[in-house]
Amino acid sequence: MNKFFDKCQKNVKLSEHTTFKIGGFADYFFVAKNKDDLIEAIKVAKEEDVKYYILGGGSNVLVSDDGFRGLVIKIEIADLNLKDNILNVGAGVAIGKIVSLALDNSLTGVEFWTGVPGTIGGAIFGNAGAYGKDAKDVLKSVTYYDATENKIIEKENSKLSFSYRSSEFKNDKKKIVLSCEIKLKKDDKKKIIVEMSDIAKQRSSKIPMEPSAGSVFKNVNENLDQVLGKLDIEQKEKDKFKQYGKIPVALLIEKSGLKGKQVGGVKISEKHANFIVNIGGAKAKDVLRLVEIVKTSVKEKFDVELELENILVGF
């Protein structure tokens, strides 16, 4: 076998690399610190016909109890440069680090990411966001490795296709984010602090503390009238969701009476019904069972097919 595999860790417990703390073993585990590491890993995996999977901070994935048969490539490309209010960031940089650096330099633009875990590579893949803004709103450009073409490509934001919690990287997993440019603007530091603190406060009242992989399902943005017609809430709330163009899936799960519902080591959080939390010794199969229960109940009550936001690995 290629010498590259000598540089990999073997039989690595993936539960230790995910915020859900769930997942079996990966045969091989390699940390890519720069683009050359990543390109080498993918080239060898292709030559040796070994499946590979790209991992960032592991904050949006559910890894199978059987783990991953192949090579997990964890992206730790950590470059971080600020020039003329443009932040050039390696794909492995934590969102939290970007938020702190913006604050330290009195730069506005990424306050909405306050408290969001994971790396910028994962955030671009899933167009991560909150409070009405997402990755596409702050990116200037993205540089990625196209493993099909064996080429590094830089694309301006306007040439990239993003949608709600999706991107061309999600649609074509052979495109791997290496770095990006984030456009920021000088502003009053006190104003930025107030906004970040406000978001941090709102999040801590809503987001559960137990291990999770964030929102399990995507919010509902189709057939709003039909779904709202079945929801027993005040008209002004309905108007708000219509104006916003989305119904929070947490509300549908809550109204289906599923808050606190437990299967094995997981349960629907009482704090936020779109979070499945690991309450100890959870298995991926517990999560999937609970996911099915939620899907069936919400379909029965609201005639909505829920779509997973969490990414399944190794199934």
Ligand X SMILES: Cc1cc2nc3c(=O)[nH]c(=O)nc-3n(C[C@H](O)[C@H](O)[C@H](O)COP(=O)(O)OP(=O)(O)OC[C@H]3O[C@@H](n4cnc5c(N)ncnc54)[C@H](O)[C@@H]3O)c2cc1C
Catalytic residues: 165, 215, 309
- Residue 61 touching ligand X (CB under 6 A): yes
- Residue 91 touching ligand X (CB under 6 A): yes
CA-based angle 48:51:57, to the nearest 5? 130
Contact positions with ligand X (CB under 6 A) in 131-190: 169, 176-177
Q: E strands of 132-212, at which residues?
A: 133-134, 139-146, 151-156, 162-163, 166-167, 175-183, 185-186
* Total binding residues toward ligand X, as defined by CB under 6 A: 31
- Residue 86 touching ligand X (CB under 6 A): no
The smaller minimum CB distance to ligand X, of residues 109 and 122, is found at: 122
- Residue 122 touching ligand X (CB under 6 A): yes
- Shortest distance, CB of residue 106 to ligand X, whole angstroms? 24
Distance (Å, whole) CA 126 – CA 122: 6
Q: Which stretch binds ligand X (CB under 6 A): 59-67, 99-107, 226-234, 276-284?
A: 59-67
Distance (Å, whole) CA 187 – CA 244: 27
Distance (Å, whole) CA 163 – CA 177: 17
Distance (Å, whole) CA 168 – CA 125: 8
- Residue 39 touching ligand X (CB under 6 A): no
Residues 6+ apart with CB under 8 A from 86: 140, 181, 182, 183, 184
Q: What are the C-alpha distances in Å from 63 to residues 41, 189, 211, 215?
A: 21, 40, 14, 15
The smaller minimum CB distance to ligand X, of residues 54 and 103, is found at: 54
In 3-state terms, what secondary structure has residue 262? Answer: strand
- Residue 80 touching ligand X (CB under 6 A): no
Binder among 23, 24, 56, 67 for ligand X (CB under 6 A): 56
- Shortest distance, CB of residue 225 to ligand X, whole angstroms? 26
- Residue 284 touching ligand X (CB under 6 A): no
Run of H or E including 80 = strand 80-83
- Shortest distance, CB of residue 43 to ligand X, whole angstroms? 16
Binder among 78, 231, 311, 312 for ligand X (CB under 6 A): 311
- Residue 123 touching ligand X (CB under 6 A): yes
- Residue 119 touching ligand X (CB under 6 A): yes
The smaller minimum CB distance to ligand X, of residues 67 and 214, is found at: 214
Q: What are the C-alpha distances in Å from 72 to residues 25, 29, 110, 288?
A: 10, 5, 29, 22
Query: What tokens were used for 104?
Result: 């330290």
Find out whether 94 and 52 touch, Cβ atoms under 8 Å: no
Distance (Å, whole) CA 237 – CA 226: 15
The smaller minimum CB distance to ligand X, of residues 123 and 304, is found at: 123
- Residue 125 touching ligand X (CB under 6 A): yes
Residue that is written with structure tokens 């779904």 in the block: 227
- Residue 75 touching ligand X (CB under 6 A): yes
- Residue 59 touching ligand X (CB under 6 A): yes
- Residue 93 touching ligand X (CB under 6 A): no
Binder among 8, 12, 42, 54 for ligand X (CB under 6 A): 54
Residues lying near ligand X in the complex (CB under 6 A): 19, 54-61, 75, 91, 116-119, 121-123, 125-126, 128-130, 169, 176-177, 207, 212-214, 311
